Amino acid sequence: MKGQIHVHRKGFTRKDGTYVPPTDYLTKDKGAPGKTPPSKQWATFKTHTGWSKHDSAAIRRKHLYSATAPGLSRHEKLIQAGRFAQELANVTTDSETKKLANEDAHYFFNKAKEMELKP
């Protein structure tokens, strides 16, 4: 069948002792990680940040922070940069990009939280 792949799952025993028998089933082929065809891409990024998973954390975060809107306070810029990274992490199919983008988002959100807590 076109667009279908055959999956065979081995039988296993759960922690509670229940045995799950082996099974075969057909599922939709999701393609290669990070290679979503253009017709299936639905996210439209309004801002080009220059973020790349091949850059160091400092460079990635500099790109995200510098892509924020110019008239905002430092706290709002940190939140916006975190949202840029979170948006990327939510739509990517590449596990490494998802991991790094989530790390960057958490970095910005934690920095913003630290600013709120300072008197």
Whether 68 is in a domain gets the answer: yes
Q: How far apart are CA 98 and CA 34, in angstroms?
A: 10
Distance CA 96, CA 1 (A): 31
Within a domain: residue 10? no
Report yes or no: 104 and 87 within 8 Å, Cβ to Cβ: no
The answer to whether residue 22 is domain-embedded is no
In a domain, 109, yes or no: yes
| Residues 85 and 65: beta-carbon distance below 8 Å | no
* 81, part of any domain: yes
Tell me whether residue 93 is in a domain. yes
Show the tokens assigned to 19: 């045995």
Q: Is residue 110 part of a domain?
A: yes
Domain assignment present for residue 55? The answer is yes
- What is the per-residue pLDDT for 98? 93
* Contact between 74 and 115 (Cβ < 8 Å): yes
Per-residue model confidence as pLDDT tens digits over 14-65: 999 999 999 999 988 777 766 776 667 676 777 788 888 999 999 999 999 9
Taking the whole predicted model, whether its pTM rises above 0.75 is answered as no
Domains contained in the chain, number: 1
* Tens of pLDDT, residues 64-110: 999 998 999 999 999 999 999 999 998 888 889 999 999 999 999 99
Which residues form the domain of 104? 38-117
Instruction: Determine contact, residues 27/7, Cβ cutoff 8 Å.
Output: yes
CA-based nearest residue to 68, from 20, 12, 108: 108
